[in-house]
Amino acid sequence: MRRVSAVTAVLALCAAVLTGCGLSIPTDPDGTLDRVTGDVLRVGASPSGELVVVTSTDAVSGPLPDLVTGFAESRDARVVWTVGSEEDLVDALETGELDLAIGGMTEATPWTDRVSVTRGFSGIPASGGHPVVILLPLGENALQSALETYLDGEVGP
Amino acid sequence: MIGRMTSMGRTDLPPEQQAALRSAVRWEWFTIAYTCVTIALIALVVGGSQAMKTAWIEDMLSLIPQISFLVALLLIRHRPTRGFPYGLHRAMGVGHLVAGVALLAIGGSLAVESVIGLVRAEHPAIGTVTVFGQTVWLGWFMVAVMSVIVIGPFFYGHAKAKLAPVLHNKVLYADADMAKADWTTTVASIVGVLGIGIGWWWLDGAAALFISAGIVWDGWRNARSAVLDLIDQRARTHDDADPHPLADRIVQHLRAQPWVADASVRMRDMGQVFHVEAFVVPRRGRVRLARVEDARAGIAELDWKVQDVVVIPVETLPDETRGKERS
């Protein structure tokens, strides 16, 4: 039983140290959320029906881009769009050239081992009820938490 | 008193061992039920943490010793037959070996997986879940689940550790030993998840590596101990620490017989019981059959573990039964 109390003590110590340092959990290993806040959110878009519409002048619109713009505004950031194929966007996320990627990706996306994938959100207009996900750099958990929290508020369950 | 050579060996147990065995079976069933619950709980929260995944698989692997113990129990109670003249005691050793090899192989592959993850700098991803309308980071649930399930192994680990020496059962002993060390796995997975939480992505892989190294170490110890008994090393205590003292007691018992000039013994571990070959050098060239038979019965009375005994009159004692053990 001595070990159980030792474990509890270690956990309590961890919690105390973490809150004492003013750390927010989760934190991004590469600090994407901090960098984006009050600055620029670089988003890649891949056209998908009426969900993500790309005009001939590379202007991006649709319900999903609107949500992303809303998220950026909630962090005092403006969105810079890049248009490309899904694989191009995943490559750009991996190399750190993009912060988010949107398109017709759903929970069944095969990119899960190269990028982080948000929970699926079925409530987005024009998604046809499919659980739509947003891709972000692998392991940027603070960005993912912030984004999912925002989406829960807008189109959540 | 056992019957005169109607059957070699015995498969029933004295009252103390019977009680211990019943208790051990109850603890094993309890452990299996508990582990199934923890596996289900972790499945709900496992997420993208390699440490959590490793701890989860370790939980599944920890079922193997319990299942092999219970299966072996069904087999070893069979009496020796013409087809299986030593009984089926070795089933316990086979179960022990299976558990050891499974731990070694899967622990090794998990270790490689976590090293590859670290080398490739794969940042573990943990998202959020919504609970009662609140968006909560899944990592907190991982920490909560692991903090709750850390408790169980303390109880069943210590209970089984008390029963294993009574039953001289190495599978049970290894199982108890692993349960007692299980808290390190749980704490490591919590550390890994908290590491991800503060942005130290590598802490997760490091924790996973630590856990898988523990699995490999358990596998190595179990497989080694099982193999040594299966290739008939000299019988040792339940924790493999020392040669089993019964061997010396048997030799002393034989040397105390007035007709015996010298004696030695070759004793191997069949799983829960021993197989004993006792060599005696008689004082005279003739030995009465009744004396050999009495010596056999006398040894069998020394301990419940030594029922399968043969006494062989010889001119000189075999070398391998005497002198110091080569280590």
Note the pLDDT tens digit of each residue in A42-64: 999 999 888 898 887 778 889 99
Longest dimension (CA), chain A: 69
Residues B180 and B315 in one domain: no
- B196, B230, B264 - which closes a domain: B230
Q: pLDDT per residue over A87-112, tens digit each?
A: 999 999 999 999 999 998 999 999 98
Cα angle A25-A27-A33, degrees, rounded to a multiple of 5: 125
% of chain B with per-residue pLDDT over 70: 95
Residue B90 lies in a domain: yes
Whole-number pLDDT of residue B41:
94
Whole-number pLDDT of residue A57:
74
Which domain CATH number covers B211? 1.20.1510.10
Residue B241 lies in a domain: no
pLDDT band at B327 (very low <50, low <70, confident <90, very high): very low
Residue A102: φ, ψ to 5°? -125, 165
Give the long-range contacts of residues B313-320, CB within 8 A, separation 24 or more.
Answer: B313/B280, B313/B281, B313/B282, B313/B287, B314/B279, B314/B280, B314/B281, B315/B281, B316/B281, B317/B262, B317/B263, B317/B264, B317/B279, B317/B281, B318/B264, B318/B266, B318/B279, B320/B266
Distance from B153 to chain A by nearest Cα, in Å?
Answer: 11
Q: pLDDT per residue over B188-210, tens digit each?
A: 999 999 999 999 999 999 999 99
pLDDT band at B7 (very low <50, low <70, confident <90, very high): low
Whole-number pLDDT of residue B10:
57
Is the confidence at residue B187, as pLDDT, over 60? Answer: yes
What span, in angstroms and rounded, lies between the C-alpha atoms of A8 and B186? 12
Whole-number pLDDT of residue A59:
84
Residues B203 and B312 in one domain: no
Residue B98's contacts (CB-CB under 8 Å, 6 or more residues apart) are B64, B68
Q: If you average pLDDT over every residue of chain B, what do you get? A: 90
Residues B286 and B160 in one domain: no
Taking contacts as CB-CB distances below 8 angstroms, the residues of chain A near B124 are 139
Lowest-confidence region among A48-62, B139-153, B205-219:
A48-62
What span, in angstroms and rounded, lies between the C-alpha atoms of B255 and B265? 11
- B171, B195, B230 - which closes a domain: B230
Residues B168 and B139 in one domain: yes
Residues B251 and B199 in one domain: no
Paired tokens of A21? 């340092």
Instruction: Flag if A149 and B135 touch (Cβ within 8 Å).
Output: yes
Give the type of residue at A50.
Answer: E
Test the A interface: residue of B126, B132, B137, B187 with most A CBs within 10 Å: B137
Q: If you average pLDDT over every residue of chain A, what do you get? A: 86
Q: pLDDT per residue over B84-139, tens digit each?
A: 988 899 998 998 899 899 999 999 999 999 999 999 989 999 999 988 888 999 99
Whether the upstream peptide bond of residue A26 has omega within 30° of 0, thus cis, is yes
Residues B176 and B97 in one domain: yes
Query: What mean pLDDT do residues B220-227 have?
Result: 92
Whole-number pLDDT of residue A97:
93
Whole-number pLDDT of residue B4:
47
Residue whose token pair is 């039964």: B321
Residues B207 and B269 in one domain: no
Whole-number pLDDT of residue B285:
87
- B230, B259, B288 - which closes a domain: B230
Taking contacts as CB-CB distances below 8 angstroms, the residues of chain B near A11 are 143, 147, 190
* Alpha-carbon distance values, B97 to B92, B109, B221, B222, B225 (Å): 9, 18, 10, 7, 8
On whether any CB of chain B is under 8 Å from the CB of A23, the answer is: yes
Question: Which one, of B186, B154, B158, lies nearest residue B172 by Cα?
Answer: B158
Residue A34's contacts (CB-CB under 8 Å, 6 or more residues apart) are A28, A142
Q: Please give the tally of structural domains in chain B.
A: 2
Instruction: Flag if B126 and A27 touch (Cβ within 8 Å).
Output: no
A25-155 CATH, one of 3.30.750.210, 3.40.50.960, 3.40.190.10, 3.30.830.10: 3.40.190.10
On whether any CB of chain B is under 8 Å from the CB of A17, the answer is: no
Residues B120 and B254 in one domain: no
Instruction: Flag if A139 and B197 touch (Cβ within 8 Å).
Output: no
On whether any CB of chain A is under 8 Å from the CB of B127, the answer is: yes
In chain A, where the domains are located: 25-155
Residues B194 and B288 in one domain: no
Whole-number pLDDT of residue A149:
93
Residue B119 lies in a domain: yes
Query: What mean pLDDT do residues A80-85 have?
Result: 92
Residues B51 and B180 in one domain: yes
Which domain CATH number covers B265? 3.30.300.30
Domain assignment of residue B292, given as a range: 246-321
On whether any CB of chain A is under 8 Å from the CB of B6, the answer is: no
> Which element (helix H / strand E) includes B128?
strand B128-131
- B37 CB neighbour count, 10 Å cutoff: 12
Test the B interface: residue of A25, A113, A147 with most B CBs within 10 Å: A25
User: Least CA distance to A19: which residue of chain B?
Assistant: B198
Instruction: Flag if B198 and A144 touch (Cβ within 8 Å).
Output: no
Residues B71 and B218 in one domain: yes
Residue A78: φ, ψ to 5°? -115, 155
Residue B327 lies in a domain: no
Residues B84 and B196 in one domain: yes
